[in-house]
Amino acid sequence: MTDKITVQTTPLQRHAVTWLGEKAFILSYLGSILTVIGVVMYIPLIPWFIYHEGNRISAFTFIIPATATLLLGLAAQRRFELKAPSVRDAMIITAIGWVLISLAGAMPFIIGLHQSFINSFFEAVSGFTTTGITVFEGLDAMPRSILFWRSFIQWLGGLGILTFFLAVSFRGGSAAASLFGAEGHKISSARPVPGIFHTVRILWGIYIVLTLASIITYYLGGMSGFDALNHSLTNISTGGFSTHDASIGYYAGQHYPHAVLLEYATIFFMLAGGMNFLIHFRVANGNVKALITDFEMRWFWGIIIGATALMVLDHFVHAPGRPLAVEKVFRDCLFQVASMISSTGFATRDINSAFFPAMSKQIFFLLMIVGGCVGSTAGGIKVLRVGILVQMFKTQLFRIIAPRQAVSPVIVQGHEIAGQELERIAALFTAWLLLIAIGAGFTAFFSNLDAWQSLSGMASAVGNMGPFYFSVHKMASLNWSIKAVYIFGMLAGRLEILPLAVLFMKGTWKK
């Protein structure tokens, strides 16, 4: 007779098993996302073949991670069943999904460039979140298949990985609505058409048309086909990765005959990426006036005009050296304002140079926080929220002087903003500033960067901007712990904090 062995389990273990049983469908969604990323990771093999890079970089740089990601995704899909996620579940899927795709996207950098894990993960997160901060130097000599992968992941991340997943998987219904809302937890706004799948299809249609228009414009302006493709992928996505260390400034530096045209074209497409795609939809349907009648667009143009005018004035009054031509100063200032407010990060001049005096550098820092429009590919707290916060301040002033019984709601574009929405905006703005302050303090403590540099680095990460007030070489040499903080900041900024914060809440992991 054999004795039975009884395995004792704690309440915590039993709870974990029960939770995993109920939430296993989350793994199926994550598997679906990994499957899509695994498939697209084969695409860089096209430039690898075209440019005969077999003697520079192995094809296994992409084949190994693509195959591993694809097989892992398919296994998770088949093992676990799907069901509609709640809002909390959708946020868990979103946060973990973005981490997983960034891990997968980092593998080509580890295998092909022999970069460290932290640098590769940093670059992948910066790419997918369209932040554009890079720790890679020597871009001009880098394999083109790697350069394409950097650009392509920014393009994929521009409208969101989950919106791409929904577009290619033809998913709709309540599950799609939850995932769509969790990835971009934005202020309530109208959709171009009813239904999530139709909305996603229209957004991606606009996105692709703008990308193709950019490719044609760049090519006609003198860029090579490869450069035109890569810069188009990263300007519409407002990501800012370039194929050259000098960014867009490379073309003027190399005396391209149409360098000025290329710069103005880049300004146009950066601003297009930084605008609400609903405005593009309205313009395409004949409502051109939406470009100036919309509440957020009026703020958007006002910030651009005001910031550019102040910076031009600041340059002529305070910048050292021989004065430049007015058009050149205007173009350089407008380019950097467009680059910052759209969070693209392209450059024709280093924002830390003497060309931009102290006030201009302060304007850049404010633009890092503000960012682009709601419903765009841009980062930042968003222009609409800034406009609403100003309206809230004006309302508070009115309540001081108005009779006690007076009704004073916050009105935007003829509609009252609900109190719950106002609370969410205020909470998000506060969390945004706290995250920048904590990250900047951590950076200053564990590096030799000064206060201004530390603030700019973390503000750039959280705002998904790209530029900062120190060199790329210095960024690459920072301690791994600082890079980890920046990685968290980039993900938090891209997902607008809430989905990532949900992972660290005790109640998230309860049944």
* Interval 454-484: pLDDT, tens: 999 999 999 999 889 999 999 999 999 999 9
Length reported for the chain = 511
Residue type, 388: I
pLDDT of the residue at 84 = 72
Task: Reduce the DSSP state of residue 416 to 3 states and report it.
Answer: strand
DSSP 8-state secondary structure symbol assigned to residue 380: S
Confirm if 434 and 458 have CB atoms less than 8 A apart. no
Quick check: 4 pLDDT over 60?
Answer: no
Contacts of 416 (CB under 8 A, 6+ apart): 409, 410
H or E, element range at 434: helix 419-445
* % residues pLDDT > 90 (the chain): 63
Q: Give the model confidence (pLDDT) of 46-58 as tens digits.
A: 999 999 998 999 9
* Better-predicted residue by pLDDT, 208 or 411: 208
> For residue 501, what pLDDT band results from cuts at 50, 70 and 90?
confident
Quick check: 114 pLDDT over 60?
Answer: yes
> Among positive and negative, which fits the CA dihedral 494, 496, 498, 501?
positive
DSSP 8-state secondary structure symbol assigned to residue 115: -
Question: Mean pLDDT, to the nearest integer, of 361-373?
Answer: 93
| The pairing of beta strand 415-416 with beta strand 411-412 | antiparallel
pLDDT of the residue at 24 = 76
Quick check: 303 pLDDT over 80?
Answer: yes
In whole angstroms, give the CA distance from residue 501 to residue 95. Answer: 9
* % residues pLDDT > 70 (the chain): 87
Out of 97-111, 315-329, 363-377, 461-475, least confident range: 315-329
In whole angstroms, give the CA distance from residue 142 to residue 44. Answer: 14
> Among positive and negative, which fits the CA dihedral 264, 150, 132, 167?
positive
In whole angstroms, give the CA distance from residue 85 to residue 177. Answer: 10
pLDDT of the residue at 110 = 97
Confirm if 92 and 503 have CB atoms less than 8 A apart. yes
Comparing CA positions, the residue from 457, 461, 478 lying closest to residue 351 is: 457
> For residue 310, what pLDDT band results from cuts at 50, 70 and 90?
very high
User: What distances in angstroms separate CA 321 from CA 131, 324, 327, 330, 486, one per listed residue?
Assistant: 33, 9, 17, 17, 36
> For residue 190, what pLDDT band results from cuts at 50, 70 and 90?
low
pLDDT of the residue at 186 = 47
Confirm if 436 and 443 have CB atoms less than 8 A apart. no
Bridge partners, 416 (sequence order):
411
* Better-predicted residue by pLDDT, 406 or 226: 226
In whole angstroms, give the CA distance from residue 378 to residue 274. Answer: 5
Task: Reduce the DSSP state of residue 108 to 3 states and report it.
Answer: helix
* Better-predicted residue by pLDDT, 417 or 101: 101
Q: Give the model confidence (pLDDT) of 159-187 as tens digits.
A: 877 676 666 554 545 555 556 555 554 44
Q: What are phi and psi of 148, to 5 degrees?
A: -65, -40
In whole angstroms, give the CA distance from residue 70 to residue 64. Answer: 10
Q: Give the model confidence (pLDDT) of 280-302 as tens digits.
A: 999 999 999 999 999 999 999 99
pLDDT of the residue at 243 = 96
